[in-house]
Structure 1
Amino acid sequence: MSEGIVADFVGQFHTASIAGPEPVTGRILLSKQRLVLAHDGGKTTIPLSAISDINVGTVPPSMREFFSDTISLAYSIDDDREIAVIESGGTNVERFKTVLFKTLLEGQTVKIKHPAKVGGRVTNADVHNARLALASGVLRFRGRAGGFSIDLSNVTDFARETRELAGTDRPTIAVTHMDGRTAKTTLVTLPNARKLNLLARYLRLEYESVMKDAAELSVAPEETEILVSIYSAGGNVALNDLVTGDVASMQVVLDALREKGLIADQGSGLVLTPKGQVVVTERVESVNT
């Protein structure tokens, strides 16, 4: 590999060229053009342009006994769709996921409408071109009209839709995220369907991580009541309006919610964090269904 290497580590992997279901141990090298999985018996070279999907933690049934912490790549060479499964120790898989997505998507030209919605209000924002950049946990968009970022830990929802952008119906990703105490929706589309699919996968993996953290939280009824009160007030409420009755008991509940990362102090009031927004939305929807 003559081009610059952006990742180089040792792990286990399996590809279609390896006989049997058992993985082999070898070297995993990623450049800006290709991924190479090299072992004593040979190597598999995957052009990055051939990768159509990436998943974390999902292993084909025939290989589940051999893998645990994995990243799986779907790719096509000569019209044959193949799967490569990679596993490594420590934090290698998580770091490799970030580097791989960054290598695949960095610098792509996208069309964006930002913000398309503020709260529940549809805006008349223009659609314009921007360059996409990925940093650690952040999507950045830079164009002639300026730039903005979406902190992926602030994403509360996203969906793939068909939207009219710049006079044409296009496959689009609608990303809802918190900007301070305000929910905003940004519309993003790429001219390349494969790249749009990869961006959607990256967002889904990040969003599922937030959802998993939220689902694993134990939230007591009195804590849920506070979250719903803040949610009903538009995501922000003055502390004096919230604290009634036994102040000491209420403070214990508020401290527990702060410790769980579900609320935060803002000025003289309290706001839902993105994780708190996810938790309370899930609770409200479960009550309404």
Structure 2
Amino acid sequence: MSERVVADFVGRFYLTDMGRSEPVRGRIMLSPKRLVLAGDGHEVTIPMGAMFDVAVGHVPPEMREFFSDTVTLAYNTDDGRRMAVVEGEADTIEKFATVLFKAHLNGQEVTVEHPARRGGRVVDTPARQARLSVDGGTLAFRSGDGRFTIDLETVTDFERDRRTIDGSSRVALSVRHVPDTTALVSVIALSSKRVLNLLGRYLRLEYSDVVEDLSEVSLSDEEMQVLLAIYSAGSGVDPLEVVAADASRTTMVLNGLREKGLVVDGEEGTELTPKGRVVVNSRLEEVNS
């Protein structure tokens, strides 16, 4: 492989057309242009543009007895669709998946409305062209008039639907997120349905991690009341002034919320973390639904 290699490790892989039922051990090499799997007399080169789906942790039923930590790739060939399953150490596979999504998504030109909705209100934000990059748990968009990001920790939901963007009907991703105390919806469209599908996969992967993390958070009614009070009062609030409870008890509750990563002490006072804002917004949506 003559081009720059962004991932290179030894693992196991299985190809749907390699004529055997067990995976083989070999070398996995990834560049921005292609993925090469080679080992035990088998070698395949998969161009990045041929891949149309990437699933992390999903193994076809017939292969589950052979694999644990995996990335499964679906790709097109001249003879039809094929599948490759790549396995490695858990940390290695996590890094490989991240690099693989970056190779597909970074630098893609997107059309974005940010925000398309603010709270429950449609915002007349013009669509603009931007370059997408994914890194450090964020979607970043760079256009001629600046840069903005969506912190994936603040995403509460997303869906793929058909939207009218810049005067034409297009399939797009609508991403609901809560960067501060107001829920926003941003709409992202790409000219390539293949890349849009991969962006959806990436969002689902990151979103499932957030949901799993939040599912492990157990909150008492008292803790929820303190979170709602901070949310309602805005940033820089002193919770002891807005929570109608004994000060010492409120302090104890706040310490527990800090340990759970839901509030943090900023320069101007106690604030909700992105995780805390998602928790509160989810609760408010339950109440209003």
What TM-score do you get using the length of structure 2 for normalisation? 0.90
Q: Deviations over 1:3-34 (max 9, x none)?
A: 22111111111111333432211110011211
The answer (yes or no) to whether the contact 1:21–1:62 under 8 Å persists in 2 is no
Matched residue, 2:54: 54
2:54, 2:71 within 8 Å by CA — same for their partners in 1? yes
- Cα distance in 2 between the residues matched to 1:76 and 1:42: 18
Alignment of 1:1-289 (within 5 A): 1-78=1-78, 80-230=80-230, 233=232, 238-266=238-266, 270-283=270-283
- 1:225-281, Cα deviation, whole Å (9 max, x unpaired): 3334445x2875652443333211221111111111122345655443332233344
Q: 1:23 touches 1:66 (CA, 8 Å); kept in 2?
A: yes
Gaps of 5+ in 1: none
Per the alignment, do residues 214 and 149 of structure 1 end up closer, same or farther by CA in structure 2, a change over 3 Å counting?
same
Q: Read off the aligned partner of 1:203 and give its amino acid letter.
A: L
SS, match of residue 224 in structure 1: helix
Give, in angstroms, the shift of residue 214 of structure 1: 0.5
Task: Tell me, yes or no, if the aligned pair for 1:17 and 1:44 is still in contact at 8 Å.
Answer: no
Secondary structure at 2:6 match in 1: strand
Q: Does structure 2 retain, via aligned residues, the 8 Å contact 1:155–1:274?
A: no
**Matches of 1:134 and 1:144, distance apart in 2:** 18
Moved more, 11-20 or 163-172: 11-20
1:267 and 1:61, CA in 2 relative to 1: closer, same or farther beyond 3 A?
same
Amino acid corresponding to residue 278 of structure 1 in structure 2: V
* Structure 2 counterpart of 1:194, one-letter code: R
Quick check: 278-287 or 4-13, which moved more?
Answer: 278-287
> Which residue identity does 1:74 align to in structure 2?
A
Report SS of the residue matched to 2:202: helix
In 2, the alpha carbon distance for the partners of 1:248 and 1:139 equals: 41
Structure 2 unmatched runs, 5+: none
Cα displacement string for residues 26-59 of structure 1 (whole angstroms, at most 9, x for unaligned residues): 1100112111111022212211111111111111
Distance 1:39-1:114 versus aligned 2 partners, 3 A rule: same
**What residue identity is the alignment partner of 2:81?**
R
Aligned length: 288
Contact in 2 for aligned 1:55/1:73 (Cα 8 Å)? yes
In structure 1, distance between residues paired with 2:288 and 2:216: 21
**Would the alpha carbon gap of residues 288 and 155 (structure 1) be closer, same or farther in structure 2, given more than 3 Å must change?**
closer
Distance in 1 (CA, whole Å) between partners of 2:92 and 2:22 is 20
- Structure 1 residue 283, shift from structure 2 partner: 4.7
Query: Secondary structure in 1 aligned to 2:26?
Result: strand
Most deviating of 98-107 and 278-287: 278-287
CA RMSD of aligned residues (A): 2.3
**Secondary structure of 2:183 counterpart:** strand
Q: Deviations over 1:72-99 (max 9, x none)?
A: 1111212522221111114111111111
